[in-house]
Amino acid sequence: MLITKSQVKYIQSLAHKKFRDAEGVFVVEGPKIVGELLRAPNLRSRVVYALSRWAGELPEPLRAVVTVVEESQLERLSALTTPNQVVAVFEKPVFQAPDFDKGVHLALDGIQDPGNLGTIVRLADWFGIANVVCSEDSADVYNPKAIQSTMGSIVRVSVRYEEPGALIRRSGLPVYAALLEGEGVYGIGRIDKGWVLIGNESKGIRPELQPLATRRVTIPRIGQAESLNAAVATGILLSHLVG
Amino acid sequence: MLITKSQVKYIQSLAHKKFRDAEGVFVVEGPKIVGELLRAPNLRSRVVYALSRWAGELPEPLRAVVTVVEESQLERLSALTTPNQVVAVFEKPVFQAPDFDKGVHLALDGIQDPGNLGTIVRLADWFGIANVVCSEDSADVYNPKAIQSTMGSIVRVSVRYEEPGALIRRSGLPVYAALLEGEGVYGIGRIDKGWVLIGNESKGIRPELQPLATRRVTIPRIGQAESLNAAVATGILLSHLVG
């Protein structure tokens, strides 16, 4: 099937947050993640453009219309240097209103790198954390790189954008804040409720949020690296606190 | 100072492993990491091109000649969309021959993503692991993205390329292999010697290496994500085994 210029332009526009927000949708590429998202009960696809070999290998009936395109057409639609069989547009997932009075939640203060953000959402999913709250200056989780890094966890983890301070205060839950000069995470033990608060890749948690910390938590350093990657640090903290 | 076409070509050629290997050098960009590498005792710079504001702010005398260039010239040299003040070429660092009879070492089997590899080297540095051995099909740690992700740890951690199987056997040290169906890492406790063996991002540890495992180690999953990012998984394992 032929694709029109306006279809190409529409897909390309969704590389920008402004257009994703206006339309309430996001783009995702590649057979593995698109396959998984098409099977998610809380997600609806708008359009799916795929090579015939991908469309022909789908293992089960899908609630989606797949438009088969030629390789040259997929190249026009794809943001990747090497297009990967399928480009799809999905509506953003909808989640039940979260219950912030109990359980463990993740709060992110100014995570800037989309890859880090997506990896953290995947981590939350691994450790059974259903809610991630991002400060409004964080990267957009529907950014193509972030979505790719979630590896499909975006359908199971609710990610919302809201200044975390007020939300944390209202919840009344304890706050485990990742800070360089805190107590070692190895001595804290498992928690069954609270916020795990992670800061920006280079600046850490902003000063206004730091007083919210019930416990200031550090990953003890043995060697000499100046810091850890934000997603790695989140993974280590979660494995010790909720793993 | 004016830069010549051949200087631009030389820097650009170093984006390719073949030329990096032939010259024994690598490129790195940005004030923070270049500043750190210039201060490393075991590293020598070949050329440093910098804007005058960066060169003027250097806090201490450096064993390097800095060529001050205009912004337009830096743009020609840089591989970044937004050049970041300085582009430098360094000779690959030289390390003492490692002692694989004792201590904890990291072995990587086919890590493909340069960002993951660099993040793992930074992690090794954080946890005081001096040696990382990569299978020959792994990403190149001198790839610009990998170098950037090491955040300077490349001068403190020895990264070598060699098939890990023979090396592990010769060392006689126990092997803690990251596998999906192993025992939970939380029950293993701290180790003071051995190999931590990490596999490829999607395929894991190749079948031929799996029999080397003394302990098959897993990060228990609570939620539903299918897997963890390789660097995140490495960080979690190291924090429990050597943290």
Chain-chain contact of A223 with B156 (C-beta, under 8 angstroms): yes
* pLDDT at site B1: 65
Q: Could you give the CA distance from residue A124 to residue B197 in angstroms, rounded to a whole number? A: 24
**Structural domain range at position B60:** 5-91
Report the mean per-residue pLDDT for chain A: 94
> Across the interface, which of B128, B224, B225 has its CB nearest the CB of A223?
B128
**Average pLDDT of the segment spanning A233-241:** 98
Q: Which two tokens stand for residue A127?
A: 């450790």
A99 domain residue, yes or no:
no
User: Which residues are within 8 A (CB) of A29 and not within 5 positions of it... i.e. 6 or more apart?
Assistant: A78, A79, A80, A83, A84, A86, A87, A88, A144, A148
User: Do A115 and A64 fall into the same domain?
Assistant: no
User: Do B114 and B67 fall into the same domain?
Assistant: no
Q: Please name the residue of chain A whose CA is at the shortest distance from the CA of residue B33.
A: A226
User: Do B82 and B113 fall into the same domain?
Assistant: no
Q: Which residues of chain A have a CB within 8 Å of the CB of B151?
A: 225-227
Length of chain B: 243
Q: Could you give the CA distance from residue B28 to residue B142 in angstroms, rounded to a whole number? A: 9
Query: A170-226, pLDDT tens digit by residue?
Result: 999 999 999 989 999 999 999 999 999 999 999 999 999 999 999 999 999 999 999
A205 domain residue, yes or no:
yes
* pLDDT at site A42: 87
Whichever domain contains B24, its CATH number is 3.30.1330.30
* pLDDT at site B173: 98
**Average pLDDT of the segment spanning B198-205:** 96
Q: Which residues of chain B have a CB within 8 Å of the CB of A115?
A: 115
User: Do B75 and B184 fall into the same domain?
Assistant: no
**Average pLDDT of the segment spanning A95-109:** 95
> Across the interface, which of A129, A224, A236 has its CB nearest the CB of B235?
A236
B47 domain residue, yes or no:
yes
**Average pLDDT of the segment spanning A96-108:** 94
Chain-chain contact of A228 with B156 (C-beta, under 8 angstroms): no
ipTM of this predicted structure: 0.94
Strands B66-68 and B25-29, how do they pair? unpaired
Task: From A240, A189, A150, select the one nearest B236 (Cα to Cα).
Answer: A240
Cα four-point dihedral sign B198, B202, B208, B213: positive
User: Do A116 and A213 fall into the same domain?
Assistant: yes
B98 domain residue, yes or no:
no
User: What single DSSP character describes residue B156?
Assistant: T
B17 domain residue, yes or no:
yes
B132 domain residue, yes or no:
yes
Pair B182, B154: CB distance under 8 Å: no
User: Do A83 and A112 fall into the same domain?
Assistant: no
B99 domain residue, yes or no:
no
User: Do A129 and A236 fall into the same domain?
Assistant: yes
Mutate to test the interface with B, among A222, A232, A238, A240 (most CBs of B within 10 A): A232
Phi, psi of B103 (to 5 degrees): 80, 180
Report how many domains make up chain B: 2
**Average pLDDT of the segment spanning B212-229:** 97
Q: Which residues of chain B have a CB within 8 Å of the CB of A152?
A: 225-226
User: Do A31 and A130 fall into the same domain?
Assistant: no
Q: In the listed set B91, B116, B144, which residue is the last one of a domain according to the structure?
A: B91
Residue A57 predicted with pLDDT over 80? no
Query: B103-136, pLDDT tens digit by residue?
Result: 999 999 999 999 999 999 999 999 999 999 999 9
Residue A141 predicted with pLDDT over 70? yes
> Across the interface, which of B122, B127, B236 has its CB nearest the CB of A222?
B127
User: Do B17 and B77 fall into the same domain?
Assistant: yes
The answer to whether A228 faces chain B, any CB pair under 8 Å, is yes
DSSP string covering B35-61: HHHHT-TT--EEEEEE-HHHHHT-SS-
DSSP string covering A43-56: --EEEEEE-HHHHH
Whichever domain contains A178, its CATH number is 3.40.1280.10
Q: Could you give the CA distance from residue B218 to residue B214 in angstroms, rounded to a whole number? A: 13
The answer to whether A198 faces chain B, any CB pair under 8 Å, is no
pTM above 0.90, yes or no: yes
Q: Could you give the CA distance from residue B31 to residue B58 in angstroms, rounded to a whole number? A: 10
Q: In the listed set A62, A91, A120, which residue is the last one of a domain according to the structure?
A: A91
User: Do B138 and B191 fall into the same domain?
Assistant: yes
User: Do A108 and A84 fall into the same domain?
Assistant: no
Q: Could you give the CA distance from residue B82 to residue A64 in angstroms, rounded to a whole number? A: 40
Which amino acid makes up residue B175? V
A129 domain residue, yes or no:
yes
User: Do B184 and B218 fall into the same domain?
Assistant: yes
**Average pLDDT of the segment spanning B70-77:** 94
Q: In the listed set B62, B91, B120, which residue is the last one of a domain according to the structure?
A: B91
CA distances from B97 to B52, B101, B147 (A): 39, 12, 22
